[in-house]
Chains A and B, each alone.
Chain A
Amino acid sequence: GQNIDQPTEMTATEGAIVQINCTYQTSGFNGLFWYQQHAGEAPTFLSYNVLDGLEEKGRFSSFLSRSKGYSYLLLKELQMKDSASYLCAVRDSNYQLIWGAGTKLIIKP
Chain B
Amino acid sequence: ETGVTQTPRHLVMGMTNKKSLKCEQHLGHNAMYWYKQSAKKPLELMFVYNFKEQTENNSVPSRFSPECPNSSHLFLHLHTLQPEDSALYLCASSPHGAGEVGEQYFGPGTRLTVT
Q: Using CB atoms and an 8 Å cutoff, list the residues of chain A in contact with chain B.
A: 4, 8, 31, 33, 41-45, 48, 87, 89, 91, 95-102
Please, could you name 20 A-B residue pairs with CB atoms under 8 Å apart, sorted by A?
A31-B101, A31-B102, A33-B103, A42-B4, A42-B90, A42-B108, A42-B109, A45-B103, A45-B105, A48-B101, A95-B102, A96-B45, A96-B48, A97-B43, A97-B45, A99-B42, A99-B43, A100-B42, A101-B40, A101-B41
A71, B45: Cα distance in complex, Å: 22
Please tell me if B104 contacts chain A, counting CB pairs below 8 Å.
yes
Number of A-B residue pairs at CB separation under 8 A = 40
B residues within 8 A CB of A44? 106
A13, B47: Cα distance in complex, Å: 39
A residues within 8 A CB of B101? 31, 48
Verify B45–A43 contact, CB threshold 8 A.
Answer: no
Q: A41-B108, A42-B90, A42-B109 are in contact. Are A91 and B42 (CB under 8 A)?
A: no
Q: Within the complex, which residue of A8, A42, A96, A100 is in contact with B56, where a contact is CB–CB below 8 Å?
A: A96
